[in-house]
Chain A
């Protein structure tokens, strides 16, 4: 008897927690396709708000996608060699550097943005370019890329693997290309996934750095909640959701495929 009572209680708590999380989400998504939110769903369902969002904020969507992609490229170009260097030369200096790279995680995005504005704000061309936001995103996402690759590299005997390749005649570049990168792939993909999602969702730094002509998805979302009908803001959330879910799924699929071995 007591056992089933506990079970019922468990179920109740679980369902309540789920409802607490899902009901606002569903309501918000529903609001995005309701003709008039104040009248309720009875006013009819429509896609006009979604089209309106596209009309108003298509630029933001493309900007965010472009930013995320550029951010991924830059963090890869910096992060992969950095993680490799740190993994090959363990020691107090490497540990210090790793912590140093991770500092932007501990500092509020607002402070990073202010620092960037103070230092580069007067460079007009740079200040109004999308690359200015990119710098902020790279600062914020780089530690995730480095740590994720470093964790994978640290879990294997990289030095001996490379010595093995070297004894077979491989130059340092060939060792990096044939041994280091393929074996680091799970870390690279996990890092890439994190970097892309963080970059698309980043608000703190971006909100400080953006200009009226450069609004990313989250900045546009804030803007739409502040200045548009609630239905548009809700439809915006829906668009955000539709964009990010297939992207995440595609990257998960890619990472599952990448772990195959060379025959």
Chain B
């Protein structure tokens, strides 16, 4: 299913502009991540797509050829994984997963076979009779995912699905989630504030700030060609060099740097891996820290010229 948002915005009753008019298209089977710091509007955007939040007048949300803008969440056929999972404490794992199917009034046979299928996909066979309170964080996350996909939604929405887990588990489950989402072959949008998560899971990442999408592209595009200081700083933590521009050179305390194009500003962002340490370089620096990181060293240096 293709998702298309045009002119979609949200102003809260207290006047806060949570989302400025936004355009977004997500193609069939694509996994898009909404990435940004807290308060950037990413969760609001997700909730508008889900139908949990109404958008301002003039907004349009299309699921293929259906205009769903005014449709409530229960009729949009979206699967949703919440940050807190929102599993029903009064139901077992099996009943949680089967709830959406029961609402659809499927036959008991159909419900059973679908539950079994989803349980297997998410490797939850051994836990089907358990109460939600008896599950670990990772298992809960998988149940939430299984429950969301069991009714075969048109679109899967995930709101910070990994943030409730502890750091050690997060990386494993991140890769697991990336594999599962591709197995489901479903159009998915997921919200995160963690750039590693976004890069690892998504086909395309939409970087958001102050209620709008600053840039959208593949992880590599964002990393190689950020369109703003914000994206450069947020994705991959590029180094920021502030100096005086002469037009084709940037003059810094420790020397100068050739600029790639004329008329560039005085703010330059450089990726650490693009820096080569060389005795005859044009920029001097004093090494302050060296950290061994297994596959590489991280060298921290201050741009200045102690010798010259």
Interface residues of A (CB under 8 A from B): 156-157, 160-161, 163-171, 174, 178-179, 182-183, 185, 261-263
Contact = CB atoms under 8 A, between A and B. Distances in A.
Interface string B52-87: 100000000000000000001111011110101011
A163 B50 CA distance: 10
Contacts of A157: 84, 86
Interface string B80-104: 1010101111111011000110011
Best-surrounded residue of A161, A164, A171 (most CB of chain B within 10 A) = A164
Nearest to A174: B103
Contacts of A164: 80, 82, 86-88, 147
Contacts of A263: 92, 94-95, 129
Contacts of B100: 168-169
Contact of B50 (A156, A167, A182): A167
Nearest to B104: A169
A156 B86 CA distance: 10
Nearest to A163: B52
B1 to A, nearest CB: 16
Contacts of B74: 166-171
Nearest to B132: A261
Contacts of A170: 74, 99, 103
Contact of B99 (A171, A178, A183, A261): A178
Contacts of A169: 74-75, 77, 100, 103-104, 151
Best-surrounded residue of A169, A171, A183 (most CB of chain B within 10 A) = A169
Contact of B88 (A161, A166, A167, A171): A161
Given A166-B73, A167-B73, A262 B92 contact: yes
A262 B90 contact: yes
A122 to B, nearest CB: 48
Given A157-B86, A163-B52, A168-B100, A261 B91 contact: yes
Contacts of B151: 168-169
A168 B103 contact: yes
Given A164-B147, A168-B100, 15 more contacts: A163-B52, A164-B80, A165-B88, A167-B80, A168-B74, A168-B103, A168-B147, A169-B74, A169-B77, A169-B100, A169-B104, A178-B99, A261-B92, A261-B131, A263-B92
Given A163-B73, A166-B72, A169-B151, A182 B80 contact: no
A171 B100 CA distance: 11
Contact of B86 (A160, A171, A178, A185): A160
A164 B140 CA distance: 14
A166 B148 CA distance: 11
B145 to A, nearest CB: 12
Q: Chain B binding site: helix, strand, loop or mixed by DSSP?
A: mixed
Contacts of B90: 179, 182-183, 185, 261-262
A64 B74 CA distance: 45
B45 to A, nearest CB: 16
Best-surrounded residue of B82, B86, B95, B147 (most CB of chain A within 10 A) = B86
Contacts of A171: 74
A161 B86 contact: yes
B282 to A, nearest CB: 56
A18 B122 CA distance: 59
Contacts of B103: 168-170, 174
Contacts of B80: 163-164, 167
B129 A168 contact: no
Nearest to B97: A168
A95 B90 CA distance: 28
A44 to B, nearest CB: 56
Closest 4 CB pairs of A and B: A168-B100, A164-B86, A167-B80, A182-B90
B99 A163 contact: no
Nearest to A168: B100
A178 B89 CA distance: 11
A214 to B, nearest CB: 41
A10 to B, nearest CB: 40
A167 B92 contact: no
A170 B75 CA distance: 9
A183 B87 CA distance: 12
Nearest to B144: A164
Best-surrounded residue of B74, B75, B104 (most CB of chain A within 10 A) = B74
B36 to A, nearest CB: 21
B95 to A, nearest CB: 5
Nearest to B79: A167
Given A183-B90, A263-B129, A163 B82 contact: yes
28 contacts: A156-B89, A157-B84, A157-B86, A160-B86, A163-B52, A163-B80, A164-B80, A164-B82, A166-B74, A167-B52, A167-B80, A167-B148, A168-B100, A168-B147, A168-B151, A169-B75, A169-B103, A170-B103, A174-B103, A179-B88, A182-B90, A183-B90, A261-B92, A261-B131, A262-B92, A263-B92, A263-B95, A263-B129
B112 to A, nearest CB: 13
B169 to A, nearest CB: 22
Nearest to A183: B90
